[in-house]
Amino acid sequence: MAAVRKTRISDLTMRVHPIPPGMRVADVADLFLADACRDLLCLPVVQDGQPLGVISRYAIMRIFLRQYGREIFGQRPIERFMNTAPLMVDIDADVEAASAWVRQHMVLPVTEDFIIVEQGHYRGMGMVTSLLELMEHHVALRGRALARANASLKASQAHLVQSEKMASLGQMVAGVAHEINTPLGYVRSNVELARDFVSQTSSALVASRNLIHCLLDERASDEEISGHLMTAAEETEAVSQSGILEEVSPLFDDTLHGLEQISELVVNLRNFSRLDRARVDHVNLNESLDSALTIGRNLIKHKAEVICDYGDLPSVECAASQINQVFLNILTNAAQAIADYGRITVRTRTLADTDQVEVRIRDNGCGMPEEVRARIFDPFFTTKPVGQGTGLGLSISYQIIEQHRGSIDVVSTPGEGTEFVLCLPCRQTASAAQNPVLAEAAGSEA
Partner 1 sequence: MNAKPTLLFVDDEERILRTLVLAFRVRYRVLSATSGEEAIALLREHPVDVVISDQRMPQMTGVEVLRAAREIAPHAMRILLTGYAELASIVGSINEGEIFRYVQKPWRLEELRDTIAEAVDIVHAARDAQTTPVVANQARAAGIMVLDRTPALFDLIRQAHPEHHVDTADTLDEALERMARHPPAVLVTDLQLPEGDISDALRLLKAQQPELVVVVVTAFRDTGHLIRLINQAQVYRVLPRPVSQNMLLRSLESALKHHDLLRERPALLRRHSVEAVPEAPQHSDIQQRVRGYLDRLRGRTSPA
Q: Is the distance from CB of 381 to CB of 401 less than 8 angstroms?
A: no
Pairwise CA distance, residues 131 & 91, whole Å = 12
127 binds, among Mg ion, ligand ADP, partner 1, none (CB under 5 to 8 A by kind): none
Instruction: Identify which of residues 291 and 325 has a Cβ nearer to Mg ion in the complex.
Output: 325
Helices (H), 123-142: 128-138
Question: Smallest distance from the beta carbon of 25 to ligand ADP, in angstroms?
Answer: 18
391 binds, among Mg ion, partner 1, ligand ADP, none (CB under 5 to 8 A by kind): ligand ADP
Enclosing H/E stretch for 295: helix 285-295
Instruction: Identify which of residues 91 and 408 has a Cβ nearer to ligand ADP in the complex.
Output: 408
Name the residue among 366, 359, 309 with its Cα closest to residue 335: 366
For residue 5, the SS3 value is: coil
Enclosing H/E stretch for 413: strand 407-413
Residue 150 burial (CB < 10 Å; 0-12/13-18/19+)?
Answer: middle
Instruction: Identify which of residues 304 and 319 has a Cβ nearer to ligand ADP in the complex.
Output: 304
Question: Smallest distance from the beta carbon of 118 to partner 1, in angstroms?
Answer: 34
Question: Smallest distance from the beta carbon of 262 to partner 1, in angstroms?
Answer: 11
- Contact between 86 and Mg ion by CB under 5 A: the answer reads no
Instruction: Identify which of residues 343 and 347 has a Cβ nearer to partner 1 in the complex.
Output: 343
Cis bond leading into 21, ω under 30°? no
| Binders in 374-413 for Mg ion, by CB under 5 A | 393
For residue 51, the SS3 value is: strand
> For binding to partner 1 (CB under 8 A), which residues are involved?
66-68, 72-73, 76, 80, 174, 177-190, 192-193, 242, 247, 250-251, 254, 257-258, 298, 302-303, 387
> For binding to ligand ADP (CB under 6 A), which residues are involved?
329, 333-334, 337, 363, 365-368, 372, 376, 381-384, 389-395, 418
Instruction: Identify which of residues 114 and 398 has a Cβ nearer to ligand ADP in the complex.
Output: 398
372 binds, among ligand ADP, partner 1, Mg ion, none (CB under 5 to 8 A by kind): ligand ADP
Q: Using alpha carbons only, what angle is made at residue 136 by residues 134 and 140, rounded to the nearest 5 degrees?
A: 145
Residue nearest to Mg ion (CB): 393
Pairwise CA distance, residues 239 & 218, whole Å = 29
Name the residue among 366, 373, 284 with its Cα closest to residue 320: 284
Instruction: Identify which of residues 20 and 387 has a Cβ nearer to ligand ADP in the complex.
Output: 387
381 binds, among Mg ion, partner 1, ligand ADP, none (CB under 5 to 8 A by kind): ligand ADP
For residue 327, the SS3 value is: helix
Q: Is the distance from CB of 343 to CB of 304 less than 8 angstroms?
A: yes
Instruction: Identify which of residues 255 and 333 has a Cβ nearer to ligand ADP in the complex.
Output: 333
Q: Could you count the other beta carbons within 10 Å of the beta carbon of residue 391?
A: 21
Q: Could you count the other beta carbons within 10 Å of the beta carbon of residue 222?
A: 7
Question: Smallest distance from the beta carbon of 132 to ligand ADP, in angstroms?
Answer: 33
111 binds, among ligand ADP, Mg ion, partner 1, none (CB under 5 to 8 A by kind): none
154 binds, among ligand ADP, Mg ion, partner 1, none (CB under 5 to 8 A by kind): none
CA dihedral 358, 363, 367, 372 (to 10 degrees): -40
Instruction: Identify which of residues 243 and 385 has a Cβ nearer to ligand ADP in the complex.
Output: 385
Contact positions toward Mg ion, by CB under 5 A? 333, 393
